[in-house]
Amino acid sequence: MVEKDAAGKDTAPKPSAAKDGGEPNLPGLYAAVQSAIWLIGLAILFATGWWFPGILVLVAISGVTQALLAKMAASEEQKAADKAALAAAARTAAMAVPANCPTCGAAISAASVTWTGPTAAQCPYCKAAIPLKAEL
Ligand SMILES: [Zn+2]
């Protein structure tokens, strides 16, 4: 059964769909993990002749693995959503930069201010914190 294991590993994990820039390739991972579980599991059942309760154990393992992978996928999606929200906040903040520094009156813009955080900026001349205009 160890030889089958090695053969399965040769063909299974191929991260080929990593084209969307950071998009996790989970459907491909699902398929690879599931096919590896079934390949190895069936090989073990075949080698031991332990078909009857054995096949149920294999189905259970496959189901648990699927649930775990689905959970991983959900947390990856959450991370991506958080990143998108942060980028959106930064964009909104950039548009909310006033035309002049309220402290020293210098002309400022989103490009010339010093960003101290995604939604916090500093005047490049007097270093005062710039109150960003309310968004929306
Ligand atoms: Zn200033």
What confidence tens digit (pLDDT) does each residue in 2-50 have?
A: 454 444 445 444 444 444 445 556 677 777 888 899 999 999 999 998 8
CA of 98 to the centre of ligand 1 (A): 11
Q: Mark whether 105 and 69 lie in a shared domain.
A: no
Q: Mark whether 87 and 127 lie in a shared domain.
A: no
CA of 118 to the centre of ligand 1 (A): 19
Domain carrying residue 13: 2-94
CA atoms within 13 A on the CB side of 28: 12
Please give the tally of structural domains in the chain: 2
CA of 2 to the centre of ligand 1 (A): 70
Q: Mark whether 40 and 70 lie in a shared domain.
A: yes
Q: Mark whether 86 and 69 lie in a shared domain.
A: yes
Q: Mark whether 74 and 112 lie in a shared domain.
A: no
Q: Mark whether 25 and 76 lie in a shared domain.
A: yes
Domain boundary among 79, 94, 109: 94
CA of 134 to the centre of ligand 1 (A): 19
Task: Give the burial class of 101: count Cβ atoms within 10 A of its Cβ; 0-12 exposed, 13-18 middle, 19 or more buried.
Answer: buried
Q: Mark whether 83 and 21 lie in a shared domain.
A: yes
Give pTM, 2 decimals.
0.44
CA of 52 to the centre of ligand 1 (A): 78
Residues 65-121 have pLDDT tens digits of 888 888 888 898 999 999 999 888 888 888 889 999 999 999 998 889 998 887 889
CA of 91 to the centre of ligand 1 (A): 21
Q: Mark whether 88 and 55 lie in a shared domain.
A: yes
Q: Mark whether 90 and 102 lie in a shared domain.
A: no
Contact present, 130 and 110 (Cβ < 8 Å):
no
CA of 33 to the centre of ligand 1 (A): 57
**Phi/psi of residue 13, nearest 5 degrees:** -85, 105
Residues 4-13 have pLDDT tens digits of 444 444 544 4
Q: Mark whether 114 and 75 lie in a shared domain.
A: no
Q: Mark whether 89 and 103 lie in a shared domain.
A: no
Q: Mark whether 123 and 87 lie in a shared domain.
A: no
CA of 28 to the centre of ligand 1 (A): 53
